[in-house]
Amino acid sequence: MSDRLIAAAAAAGIGMTILPVVYRAGGFGGAALSERQRRFAPDEDAFAELYERLARRHRNDPNVRVGIAPHSLRAVPPDQLARAVELARKLDATAPIHIHVSEQPKEVAECRAWSGTTPIAWLADNAPVDEAWCLVHATHATPEEVATMAHRRAVVGLCPTTEANLGDGIFSLPEFLALGGGWGIGTDSNVCTSPVEELRWLEYGLRLTRGRRNVAAKAAGGSTGAFLFDRAVDGGARACARKVGKLAPGWRADFVVLDAEHPALSARDGEAILDSWLFAGNSNPVRDVVVGGEWAVREGHHRHEDQARADYVKALGRLRS
């Protein structure tokens, strides 16, 4: 599956950070896996072989970065978490490490029953959490944990549409921002794969709970859209361990070109363009996409879209039959 994902990314024109998932237990303390969970759980030797093969094969590939994703503390016992991190760091000292933490109150309560503390606090005390780590969700982080994550320079991975879909709650973003914390956005369910919708949900959720507008603006009267976009690009680049997000020597040429004549952007300039892109409806003003210095989309059309559509329909028909 890893090979097919990497091949699909190459065909589509996507710079890929691939994170094989460690999933070994059905609950805190090494509880047995359920029948449905067993498909997620290769044994340690199989996982090590997979990671080492991917890391060595793509070590010099500019389009692929390899890391690991211990699913969560409930799914990865401490000894196996330590070995997975050691394996990743042995081959790549800056390999990205993603893990779900404190997503739901039940998870936090079960972690307390198992260890006497919360998932984030346990990781801070027992794992080498640093700027290479992405702590996904962190919805129910305490103020002390928010400060710890900022101090450790870990990126918080926020998935607003997923967190809304599951009723998880809303991360304490303003407090994290005040401490200089870095964050990115993503999806944990593929219900939505639109970065614009994720950023809009993030800001609107904060407005609803805080009772004011422009919660994430960098300053009074500043552009909320520009702040959200810039911070998400920076945090996302760090979480994916990729040199993207700047048009500068030594950085990947990954960027999008917006259609200046799109109705949503008409008569807009400067940072106001990003405000309109994020908050003026669901139309898509992206005209062109460049990945690794190559055009993937031009004038709104992917270079392989006709063939991709035909292949998809053919594959779907084969599966149904």
Q: So which residues are the catalytic ones?
A: 137, 188
Q: Helices (H) and strands (E) in the chain — how many of each?
A: 12, 12
Match 């997979």 to its residue by tokens: 50
Phi-psi region of 118 (alpha: psi -120 to 50; beta: other; left: phi over 0): beta
CA distances from 90 to 52, 58, 78, 120, 153 (A): 10, 15, 18, 24, 21
Cα-Cα-Cα-Cα dihedral sign, residues 291, 133, 233, 12: positive
CA distance 205 to 194: 16
Q: For Cα atoms 255, 258, 264, give the angle at the middle one, nearest 5 degrees.
A: 145
Residue 195 and residue 231 in contact, taking contact as beta carbons nearer than 8 Å: no
Phi-psi region of 317 (alpha: psi -120 to 50; beta: other; left: phi over 0): alpha
